[in-house]
Structure 1
């Protein structure tokens, strides 16, 4: 929003840029650190700015403290350049930052921020000095890199059967690990599955175990589906033919059923071995006519 350069807040804090980040920090600091009751309003609106200005005017000590804290506690914007604007990464980082800082911010203003902005706000509000925040942000970056390596566990889901595999995974987890699914939304694709496990508290070892069991369940399900397309036949073979069938199965490392299946399909395709019966002899047109004639003679 376009802000009047001479509004109350600009007069109260001359020399400040008072962009959305600074205004959010001022508001949330007054609410959470100073425990001052603020009336809910839209981020960086004129109403919000005026409320902050009046509060600081009534609390000059707080105003002086904020002046000092801004230079001591707010990392430069460039420090967050590696954080993506939206998506899975900033969501994970926000959850991790909340754990590390111990901050639980329930303000509606905080909830209107994007995930990246929430991460910045958490670091801004954390009552630590510049150096400690810098180290913590670097460790968060390293932690994300390490966490993203575990994505290899879930590569199996990313193919043409992605949705079916995800549906099976959710069903299995819901039945066997209800603690993980009780407060989560069902995932239907690979990216949603990754986000689910990002916040599941499951260790890498547990994730691998779950995925292996889901893979086995998938394999069993596919085997059953294929079996529906087949029918069992019982027939008697001469002992000599049975011996040949066993020999072929052993030589080609196939089951007896597979040997028969391939032989039948190849013969159907190439017609090399089974004799074809000649069409039944039918009287030619001439003989038919001749027969009629000789019949007429009688």
Structure 2
């Protein structure tokens, strides 16, 4: 349901339906158009009243607002792909700032999520044709960019892998561009979006992070375990290898099983010692 307004700005513009995007565009347009319109006067609940008073004093400009807005705001349907996803918002904001190279929005005010990159596009002083071409191009580039996410799929199932990535990168890659800890898969994607590593360096780093993860898991598996060195006869080693190969387990696991069974049953060692004594005539 549309939100209706009957305040001074509605009367000045002859429009009763409220549209936050329109208000944002008008605010920054006035800031850009006339330095006497105080950009430091942050928008608040009186934002519409401030714009109304300005336009009442400049009626010639008020008459031009609807037409100028039609010339600069591309249809919302072409912006439907822009969601509030944090990664998309950060990527799109950076791309728009780099492409448009304009600094008209010096203050973000209360703009959050998708509102900020859309405002960047709206207030860019170009005609709607150029803006439409740009946003279509950015949509395709975003889809192509996301297609490369498969290279990070190893991290997706466990945020601990992402945290380890941050520890490793902080220690070995001398992070300067991303001081916020990487705690989630989305954090990791945003980091690599900003890092601008070459594919070769990225592959190298990911490989080293995977190796560090394997080493960490191995060390964790050694918890409550101790290492012992035994001297075994060649005959015993051959038997041990045969059993290990038969059940496709390691030597260490074979010995563990045999010791556990002997501790539970107490059969084989006693029988072996008894037979030895008999053979020795004991």
Q: TM-score, normalised by structure 1?
A: 0.74
Preserved CA contact (<8 Å) 1:163 1:188? yes
- When residues 50 and 268 of structure 1 are mapped into structure 2, their CA distance, relative to the original with a 3 A threshold, is closer
* Residue matched to 1:125: 123
* Residue matched to 1:262: 254
How many residues align? The count is 268
Distance 2:213 2:42 in 1: 51
* Residue matched to 2:13: 13
Distance 1:77 1:58 in 2: 31
Q: Which runs of 5+ in 1 are unaligned?
A: 281-298
Q: Deviations over 1:140-183 (max 9, x none)?
A: 11111111122222221233xx24322221111111222345x5
Shift of 1:186: 0.6
Preserved CA contact (<8 Å) 1:88 1:195? yes
**Corresponding residue to 1:178 among 171, 174, 177:** 174
Distance 2:135 2:256 in 1: 67
C-alpha RMSD over aligned residues: 3.5
Shift of 1:96: 1.8
Matched, 1:213 2:219: no
Distance 2:256 2:215 in 1: 27
- When residues 16 and 198 of structure 1 are mapped into structure 2, their CA distance, relative to the original with a 3 A threshold, is farther
* Residue matched to 1:26: 26
Shift of 1:226: 3.3
Secondary structure of the equivalent of 1:179? Answer: coil
Q: Which runs of 5+ in 2 are unaligned?
A: 275-282
* Residue matched to 1:165: 161
Preserved CA contact (<8 Å) 2:85 2:113? yes
Distance 2:243 2:32 in 1: 76
Preserved CA contact (<8 Å) 1:245 1:259? no
Secondary structure of the equivalent of 2:30? Answer: helix
* Residue matched to 2:101: 102
Q: Deviations over 1:258-291 (max 9, x none)?
A: 336415515744979936549x9xxxxxxxxxxx
Distance 2:257 2:247 in 1: 18
Matched, 1:202 2:197: yes
Matched, 1:53 2:55: no
Distance 1:16 1:201 in 2: 47
- When residues 186 and 58 of structure 1 are mapped into structure 2, their CA distance, relative to the original with a 3 A threshold, is same
- When residues 216 and 276 of structure 1 are mapped into structure 2, their CA distance, relative to the original with a 3 A threshold, is same
